[in-house]
Chains A and B, each alone.
Chain A
Amino acid sequence: MKKKRVIVIGGGISGMEAATHLASMGYDVTLLEKDKELGGHLLGWEKLFPTMRMGKDVVEFLNKGITLSKVNVIRKAEIVNAVKTGEIFTVTLANGNKFESDAVIMATGYDLFDARKKEEYGYGIYDNVITSADLEEKFLSGKPILTSKGNVPKKIALVHCVGSRDEKVGNVYCSKVCCVTAVKQSIELKESIPGVDVYCLYMDLRMFGMHFETLYKEAQEKHAVNFIRGRLSEACENQDSSIIVKVEDTLAGKPLRMTVDMLVLMVGMVPSAGTVKVGKMLGLKFGPNGFLKSMDQHTMGTITNIPGVFIAGTCAAPRPINNVFVDARAAAITASSYLEGYDIEKRISYS
């Protein structure tokens, strides 16, 4: 019998892991990645919370899976069309190549929130306002962390919830990973810049993961990171390029101002441009937050309104890496049972 074919769209964590598992189950798997390298956002991340292990270790684990399971990887794949005709999916690339399959895994991921939209925070306007991803790039480079004028910063503030839980920018949801990323990066800043004062400006600290609370306590106890509960209203620049921040210290019940040498914006996740583009091509439904919609929040995760299309990872919702791994494997299982003729929708007795 001819092997059933699966196209996995997106070569980040979820796409790589789903492709690996489907290939190991004996399917003919093609993984389409828009960039020249597999790994997605993970390539830009040095250390991972909560263990501080290197991101590149995880990339290596994923790459090994792809190689050992013999996934057919197409890099620099720009999708111009994706349609379902009968039971067959056809994906066309910009170079004219066409791929056919019996199922599709959407693993198109997220984009980082564009911090320039939060204009009052001054990203792209003030030199010493950077994002969490910019800071990660600095960590990756191995160079010392310096201000725009080349000085060692003495005070750094990290702003939580930039582009998350903010109706003004159209994102009401929590991006889940930013709180613990702020704690992680605070610790790294304290370790790499002796004597620096670090302040986290937060609304809530959502330390939901198994070891996140421990990391938070470590930041307080071992590194004396300061936590101030209050959302940043605005940032202004001084003549010397330092930044003035204004928040309400909601626990003290007073407005608070502070000058910092560097301001780090913890940017959240938004559905990626690729998620929106390919999702529309395939006729997938989008949820109220713009991410791809699963058929049921409790029972039908990974399953979409189009039979044969499954969703994995952050194209469905913001998720940390461990959840993305589990999700990708779940998408592989549900795709496999679909290809073997199992109809999960028969089980739905509610509407």
Chain B
Amino acid sequence: MTTQPVKSRLPGLLLLAAVLVLLALMPLMVNNYWLRIATGALMWAGLACSWNILGGYAGYINFGHSAFFGLGAYVTAFLMNDPFGLPFLVTVPAGMLVTAVFAVIIGAPTLRLRGAYFAIATWAFAEVLIQFASAMDFTGGIGGIGLPPYLNERFFYFAMLGAAALTYLLTWLLFERSRFGLKVKALRDHEPAAEAMGINTALVKLQTFVLSAVTASVFGAIFAYWVTFINPKSVFGGDITDQMVVMVLLGGLGSLWGPAIGGVALFVVNRLMWMYWGDTAFYIALLGAAIVLVVLFLPNGIAGLFSGRRSNALEKAAGKLVGRVDEGERP
């Protein structure tokens, strides 16, 4: 077991390098439509990773993650329009800041909740934002806000690529290669034990929550500028979170590459079905069937196919442990 890791990392690194080169050259290889699909796929891969930061590594299931995606989108839309008329690159950090403030205010009390209660509380928060954005005038209400169109598909492709790459790099550094990651995983696997080990779980959870929220807001900002029009449902909508969750679960929960695989696979399969059978709504049924089949036959997600038996055994052990904790959780 100990002799293996060094040797087997090389093919992985080569694969990663090949993928990066491929991604960098993508605009030269495909037409604008496929570049658009690639831009969307990168966004979803990034969003899935952003959700996985809290859901996979810390074990807190956020059903309202679209709230932060939407906050990023709305701040950008708001600041780029009159009377501010700020350039896009200024609005992104502004959106990250606003999102971070929201995340601290919302996260501090909600992170005391566990399991489904946390999930639904965050969902309720996202619904509050939908209703708020719909009822208020300064958000453009239900009619939404348009943004000044910028028709440069390569800019958006590289913006999404950069944001996604940074999100993954950050996740890798923080959660796979640092003490912080160990703390987060420890509290996921057994919160009271982690607390007893001297980990300030409340702080660690909050930091993870804010990180997860802020990364989502960046994608929201790029999305708004890219699509040129947003309304409350199109950026805060529950279906956005649902997609992220399903992408992570299909790809592989709590692994670095699972969300990337799940995000790209689900988005691209959706778009392919939509292209070839999209004359009727039947493709939606096919999409549902595909999700059911993956759950039934790839219970560890698509990433489970790629990981060796070694990590499988670890996951199984972790599964047993988590299962026991869940049983013991009920009063």
Q: Do A and B come from one complex?
A: no
Residues of chain A whose beta carbon lies under 8 Å from any beta carbon of chain B: none
